[in-house]
Amino acid sequence: MKAIEENQRRKNTTFKPPGLPDFENGADTLGNLVAGVAHELNTPLGNTRIVASLLSEQFREFAAAFEAGKLRRSQMDGFLNRGREAVELLERSSARAADLVGHFKQVAVDQSSARRRSFDLRRTVEEMLVTLRLMFKRTKHQIELDIPAGLEMDSYPGPLEQVITNLVANSLTHGFVGIEQGCIELQAQAVGETQVVLRCVDNGAGIPTETLHRLFEPFFTSRLGQGGSGLGLYIAYNLVTGVLGGTIEVESSPGHGATFILTLPRTAPDR
Ligand SMILES: Nc1ncnc2c1ncn2[C@@H]1O[C@H](COP(=O)(O)OP(=O)(O)OP(=O)(O)O)[C@@H](O)[C@H]1O
Ligand SMILES: [Mg+2]
């Protein structure tokens, strides 16, 4: 695929995440995360409260005018318009809050309950494509596989699917902004007897060099207020370095797509 070759010829900037301060320290991270989620929830919940109390005030006025038989047409129109706006805002804010909680639940997912089994990497990723392709509906973007048959793994397909889903979702929502027909390729190859390298390559917008080192931090998002919670890559990082026992890094330069590189042991560590 063209995007891949281009990507390989290019001098990309690479970032390997280990060693960030209080990033791998479990207790600290969880504490920060809880504080972060509480902080993020504050805005949508605060909005919800304000709008709900405005709405209740408007209902009171409306009811009073109605009872007194003084309800004018213009008042009625105003009430309906403001009411519609308020309800839309309530919907948006509560959806945002629910989204955040949903993501947070993924972070907290108990990695030890993930099911381990032997599987063929190519066949398993092919099966994932059925679900992944749902995200491509109504777009012209494409996803391709370049994974040799016969790459057996003894690992956790559930967490692996979660990671790939988050990476593909990112290519679609960030990489392909303003691009009509983007392409994502999932490539894998064996490294020695014991490891595989799995790459998720897109030919999208790429990532500014100065933000590359923050990508895996919880709550780092370039779409603040537009539905981004900044937890997708943090979750991916945790699953890859936790239950899957591997590493994840990113290579990108602006305008030239992004590549996420997972190096995974074919036999996941014992837990
Ligand atoms: N393939 C990509 N192309 C361009 N930018 C990317 C890509 N993947 C990630 N990013 C950048 O990394 C940031 C962090 O990604 P992450 O998945 O952690 O959060 P998010 O996608 O913004 O929100 P969430 O995944 O929680 O909905 C994104 O906001 C985006 O700026
Ligand atoms: Mg994301």
Q: pLDDT tens digits for 195-210?
A: 999 999 999 999 999 9
One domain for residues 54 and 159: no
Classify residue 210: in a domain, yes or no.
yes
Residue 63 and residue 11 share a domain: no
**Ligand nearest to the backbone CA of 171:** 1
Please report which ligand is nearest the Cα atom of 229: 1
Per-residue pLDDT, 6? 53
Under 8 Å between Cβ of 187 and 198: yes
**Residue 35: its pLDDT value, please?**
77
Q: Quick one: pLDDT band at residue 25, thresholds 50, 70, 90? A: very low
Averaged pLDDT, 250-262 = 95
Residue 271 in any domain: the answer is no
One domain, residues 65 and 149: no
Size of the chain in residues: 271
Ligand 1 centroid to residue 174 C-alpha, Å = 6
In this structure, are 153 and 247 located in the same domain? yes
Indicate whether 83 and 164 sit together in one domain: no
Ligand 1 midpoint to CA 73 (Å): 48
Question: Which ligand places an atom closest to the C-alpha of 201?
Answer: 1
pLDDT of residue 156 exceeding 90, the answer is yes
Same domain, 194 and 86: no
User: Which 8-state DSSP code applies to residue 149?
Assistant: T
Q: Is the CB of 204 under 6 A from ligand 1?
A: yes
Taking the CA of residue 260 as reference, the ligand 1 atom at the shortest distance is 1
Give the pair of three-digit tokens for residue 177: 């902004």
Same domain, 40 and 12: no
Q: How far is the CA of 234 from the centre of ligand 2 (A)?
A: 9
pLDDT at position 155, please?
96
Please tell me the total count of domains within the chain. 2
Query: What would the pLDDT profile of 73-93 be if each residue is shown by its tens digit?
Result: 998 999 999 999 999 999 988
Q: Please report whether residue 259 resides in a domain.
A: yes
Query: In the listed set 108, 141, 173, which residue is the last one of a domain according to the structure?
Result: 108
111: pLDDT strictly greater than 80: no
Give residue 121 CA to ligand 2 midpoint distance, Å: 23
| Ligand 1 contacts CB of residue 246 (under 6 A) | no
Q: Which of 135, 174, 237 to mutate to test the pocket of ligand 1 (most atoms within 8 A of CB)?
A: 174
pLDDT at 36 (0 to 100): 75
Q: Are residues 67 and 172 in the same domain?
A: no
pLDDT at 14: 76
Q: Which of 73, 108, 143 is the last residue of a domain?
A: 108
- From residue 237, alpha-carbon distances to 23, 82, 139, 171, 243 in Å are 10, 44, 28, 16, 10
Instruction: Give me the mean pLDDT over the 219-246 stretch.
Output: 88
Q: What is the mean pLDDT of residues 46-63?
A: 91
Q: Is residue 270 part of a domain?
A: no
- Whether residue 223 is contained in a domain is answered as yes
pLDDT category of residue 103 using cuts at 50, 70 and 90: confident
Classified as helix, coil or strand, 12 is: coil
What is this structure's pTM?
0.77
Which one of the ligands is nearest to 206 CA?
1
Q: Does residue 166 sit within a domain?
A: yes
Instruction: State the SS3 of 43-88.
Output: HHHHHHHHHHHHHHHHHHHHHHHHHCCCCCHHHHHHHHHHHHHHHH
Q: According to the model, what pLDDT value does residue 184 have?
A: 98
Range of the domain at 60: 29-108
88 plus 131 within the same structural domain? no
Average predicted confidence (pLDDT) for the chain: 86
Nearest CA to ligand 1 atom 1: 171
- Tell me which residue has its CA closest to atom 28 in ligand 1: 221
Q: What stretch of H or E contains 263? A: strand 258-265
Same domain, 104 and 121: no
Query: What are the tens digits of pLDDT across the range 125-147?
Result: 999 998 888 888 889 999 999 99
Among 77, 108, 139, the domain boundary falls at 108
Q: Quick one: 67 and 119 in the same domain? A: no
- Cα–Cα distance, 27 to 32 (Å, whole number): 9
Do 196 and 97 share a structural domain?
A: no
By the 8 A CB rule, do 242 and 234 touch? Answer: no
* Upper half-sphere CA count for residue 219 (Cβ side, 13 Å): 14
CATH of residue 153: 3.30.565.10
